[in-house]
């Protein structure tokens, strides 16, 4: 619920209507509160797995952050290899038609 709407709605008693329209990012609203109810919290068994997963993620993220802060990270760039220019063959390569021990005649 957007803040302007929530502020106006929760300021009213049951059965009351806003005296002035309330403007939000979604437009103008006339709010009527019909009744107030307390939402029942879910049973622990219904949310236990989600809570365990959330806590596991939080603990894991904190542990990884602790490891990162304590680690010394050094990035080393590999040396750039020079590529031979076009038209130049590497030494030791045979020309077309030549095989080891034979030369073109």
64-79 pLDDT, tens digit each: 999 999 998 888 888 8
Q: What pLDDT, on a 0 to 100 scale, did the predictor assign at position 99?
A: 54
Label residue 97 left, alpha or beta by phi (over 0 means left) and psi (-120 to 50 means alpha).
left
Tell me, what DSSP letter sits at residue 75? -
Domain boundaries in the chain?
1-37, 38-71
Q: What pLDDT, on a 0 to 100 scale, did the predictor assign at position 1?
A: 87
Q: What pLDDT, on a 0 to 100 scale, did the predictor assign at position 92?
A: 52
**Integer Cα distance of 22 and 7 in angstroms:** 10
Confidence tier at 19 by pLDDT (50, 70, 90): very high
């Amino acid at each position: 619920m957007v803040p302007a709407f929530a502020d106006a709605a929760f300021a009213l008693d049951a059965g009351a209507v806003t005296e002035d329209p309330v403007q939000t990012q979604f437009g103008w609203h006339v709010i009527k509160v019909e009744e107030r109810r307390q939402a029942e919290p879910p049973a622990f068994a219904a949310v236990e797995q989600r809570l365990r997963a959330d806590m596991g993620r939080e603990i894991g993220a904190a542990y990884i952050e602790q490891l990162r802060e304590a680690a010394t990270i050094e990035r080393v760039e590999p040396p750039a290899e020079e590529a031979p220019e076009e038209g130049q063959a590497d030494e030791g390569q045979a020309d077309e038609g030549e095989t080891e021990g034979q030369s073109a005649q």
